Every structure is written in C-alpha cells, then in structure tokens.
C-alpha cells in the first residue's frame, strides 16, 4: 500500500531513502477520476518498470482547466486515497500546474511512464529524464475504457430516472 504525501520536500526525502536502498523510481501522472480497469492496468504496467511508483495527481483546479468545469467528479483527497490503496502505487502527490514538469524535476525519476496514447507526441518531462540517464516508457492502453466513457454510460442509463 502506498502513501499520500502532498508535501514535495517530504516526498523527496522518502525517495532519497528508496534510492539509497537501491530502488529504481518510476513516475506517472494523471487525473485518475472515477478509477477504472484502464487506470489500474496502466499503474501496474508503470510499476513493473521499476521498484517504486510515484503518481502525480492533478489537483482539482488543474483538472477543471484540463477537463472542463464539471470535472473532477471525485475530489483530490478521495482520488489520492484510492490511488494510495493500490498495491502498485508507492507514493501519491499532487500538482497544481497545467503540466507535471515541475513535479517531475522534483521527483527525478529513473523512468517516466505515460499511456501509449502519447506515441508520437511530446511527453512532458521526457527531456529532463533522458538527460539524467533515465528513460521514457509508453504503457499499453485498455481499449474502450475511459472516464469520459463511464460518465456517458452513467448518464445514458440514468437519464430521466
């Protein structure tokens, strides 16, 4: 089970201890609103690339800027609690910026993991990670599974009830 550590300096201390113990740090990020099988498989895939998975979680304000005013459905504290309870996740922290660039620099991951939907696109933080000798890995996506699809299905099933 992971830990919710909102303070980046505390997270950096934890990660320094992990590295001293010889562990490889993997970083991924996202909104993780209405957690589903696609999220879980992505997190498991990211964790398989190293020893400790750090998940950067968009805070509520950055989710609204990214996804629109009706999101997130689940507030930050609850999203963090659910993610930290997953066995694949080592640490969860949040960021308020539009991209996780500053958090990636704070975490200094050995591996930066993103969904395969980023193939051919710029991955934020990739230059920083590769210049430090790390690598970027793309995780296969689960077809037909997304939070947007879940919301649409819920609205379709319960509209008018």
Question: 73 preceded by cis ω (within 30°)?
Answer: no
Nearest-CA neighbor of 8 among 122, 120, 82, 94?
94
Burial of 42 from C-beta contacts in 10 A (0-12 / 13-18 / 19+): buried
The backbone torsions φ and ψ at residue 144, rounded to the nearest 5 degrees and listed phi first, read 75, 10
Q: Given this model, what pLDDT does residue 94 score?
A: 98
Q: Is the pLDDT of residue 161 over 70?
A: no
Average pLDDT over residues 62-75: 95
Average pLDDT over residues 123-139: 97
Provide the CATH number for the domain around residue 13: 3.40.50.620
Residue 153, H or E segment: helix 147-158
Q: Is the pLDDT of residue 3 over 90?
A: yes
Q: Is the pLDDT of residue 100 over 80?
A: yes
Q: Given this model, what pLDDT does residue 153 score?
A: 85
Q: How confident is the model at residue 146 (pLDDT cuts 50, 70, 90)?
A: confident
Domain count, the chain: 1
Half-sphere exposure (Cβ direction) of 155: Cα atoms closer than 13 Å: 6
Q: How confident is the model at residue 80 (pLDDT cuts 50, 70, 90)?
A: very high
Q: Is the pLDDT of residue 7 over 80?
A: yes
Average pLDDT over residues 135-160: 86
Domain with 34 in it = 3-158
Average pLDDT over residues 109-122: 91
Q: Given this model, what pLDDT does residue 125 score?
A: 97
Q: Tell me the sheet residues that pair with 29.
A: 56
């Amino acid at each position: 089970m992971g830990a919710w550590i909102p303070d980046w300096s505390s997270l950096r201390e934890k990660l320094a201890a992990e590295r001293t113990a010889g562990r490889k740090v993997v970083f991924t990020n996202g909104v993780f609103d209405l957690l589903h099988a696609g999220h879980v498989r992505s997190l498991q895939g990211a964790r398989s690339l190293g020893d400790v998975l750090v998940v950067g979680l968009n805070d509520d304000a950055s989710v609204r800027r990214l996804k629109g005013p009706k999101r997130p459905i689940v507030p930050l504290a609850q999203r963090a609690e659910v993610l930290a309870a997953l066995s694949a996740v080592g640490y969860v922290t949040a960021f308020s910026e539009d991209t996780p660039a500053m958090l990636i620099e704070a975490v200094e991951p050995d591996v930066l993991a993103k969904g395969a939907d980023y193939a051919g696109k710029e991955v934020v933080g990739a230059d920083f990670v590769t210049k430090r000798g790390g690598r970027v890995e793309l995780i296969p996506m689960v077809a037909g599974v997304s939070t947007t699809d879940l919301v649409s299905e819920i609205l379709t099933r319960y509209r008018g009830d």
